[in-house]
Amino acid sequence: MKSVRKPITIDEAIERVVASSTLGDTETILLEKADFRYLAEDIIADHPVPMFDRSMYDGFAVRASDTAQAHPDAPQTLRVTETIAAGEQAKGRLQPGTAMRIMTGAAIPPGADAVLMLEDVREDKDDQGPYIEVTTPVAPGTHISHRGEDMAEGTVLARSGRRIGPGEKAVLATFGYHRVKVYQQPVVAVLATGSELLPVDAPLVPGKIRNSNSYMVESQLRRLGAVPKTLGILADHFEACYHAVTKALEEVDFVITTGGAAVGDYDFVQSLIERLNADLLFNKVAMRPGSVTTVAKKGEKWIFGLSGNPAACFVGVELFVRPVLKRVLGAQALHLPRISATLDVDITTTNSFTRLMRARTEFHNGKAVVQPVGLDKSGIISGLLEANSMLVIPGGKRLNRGEQVQVMWLEEEGMHNESARL
Ligand SMILES: Nc1nc2c(c(=O)[nH]1)N[C@H]1C(S)=C(S)[C@@H](COP(=O)(O)OP(=O)(O)OC[C@H]3O[C@@H](n4cnc5c(N)ncnc54)[C@H](O)[C@@H]3O)O[C@H]1N2
Ligand code: MOO
Ligand SMILES: [Mg+2]
Residue nearest to atom 5 of ligand 2 (CA): 289
pLDDT tens-digit series, residues 286-336 = 999 999 999 999 999 999 999 999 999 999 999 999 999 999 999 999 999
What is the distance in A from the centroid of ligand 2 to the CA of 350? 14
Length of the chain: 422
Atom from ligand 1 closest to the CA of residue 261? 19
Which among 5, 8, 309 is the best mutation to test ligand 2's pocket, defined by most ligand atoms within 8 Å of the CB?
Answer: 309
Instruction: Summarize pLDDT for 39-94 with one digit per residue, the tens.
Output: 999 999 999 999 999 999 999 999 999 999 999 999 999 999 999 999 999 999 99
- Specify the residue with its C-alpha closest to ligand 1, atom 8: 263
418 has a pLDDT exceeding 80: no
Burial of residue 201 (number of CB atoms within 10 Å: 0-12, 13-18, 19+): exposed
- CATH 2.170.190.11 domain range(s) in the chain: 54-145
Q: Where in the chain is the domain with CATH 2.40.340.10?
A: 338-409
Name the closest ligand to CA 265: 3
Radius of gyration of the chain measured on its C-alpha atoms: 31
pLDDT band at 156 (very low <50, low <70, confident <90, very high): very high
Overall pTM > 0.90: yes
* Domain 10-25+185-328, CATH class in plain words: alpha beta
Burial 229-263 (b: 16+ CB within 10 A, else e): bebebbebeeeebeebbeebbeebbbbbbbbbbbe
Q: Backbone dihedral region of 26: left (phi > 0), alpha (psi from -120 to 50 degrees) or beta?
A: beta
CATH topology of domain 54-145: Molybdopterin biosynthesis moeA protein; domain 3 (2.170.190)
For position 412, what pLDDT does the model report?
67
Note the pLDDT tens digit of each residue in 248-296.
999 999 999 999 999 999 999 999 999 999 999 999 999 999 999 999 9
Ligand 2 centre from 289 Cα, in Å? 4
From 1, 197, 267, 292, the mutation candidate for ligand 1 (largest count of ligand atoms within 8 A of CB) is 292
ipTM of this complex: 0.98
Mutate to test the pocket of ligand 1, among 307, 317, 380 (most ligand atoms within 8 A of CB): 307
Query: Which residue spans within 307-353 are E strands per DSSP?
Result: 338-343, 347-348
Query: How remote is the CA of residue 177 from the centroid of ligand 1, in Å?
Result: 48
On the CB side of 202, CA atoms within 13 Å amount to: 13
- Hey, how many other C-beta atoms are within 10 angstroms of the C-beta on 71? 11
Q: Please list every protein residue whose CB sits less than 6 Å from any atom of ligand 2.
A: 288-292, 307, 309, 312, 378
Cis amide linkage into residue 72, ω under 30° from 0:
no
Distance CA 232, CA 192 (A): 6
The CATH classification of domain 338-409, taken from the options 2.40.100.10, 3.30.70.20, 2.40.340.10, 3.20.20.70: 2.40.340.10
Is residue 389 within 8 Å of residue 399, measured between CB atoms? no
Q: CATH 3.40.980.10 occupies which residues in the chain? A: 10-25+185-328
- Does residue 23 surpass a pLDDT of 80? yes
Atom of ligand 2 nearest to the CA of 293: 1
Q: How far is the CA of 290 from the centre of ligand 1 (A)?
A: 9
Determine the pLDDT at residue 421.
Answer: 80
Give the span between the Cα atoms of 110 and 91, in whole angstroms: 10
pLDDT tens-digit readout, 80-131? 999 999 999 999 999 999 999 999 999 999 999 999 999 999 999 999 999 9
Would you call the peptide bond into 289 cis, given omega within 30 degrees of 0 as the criterion?
yes
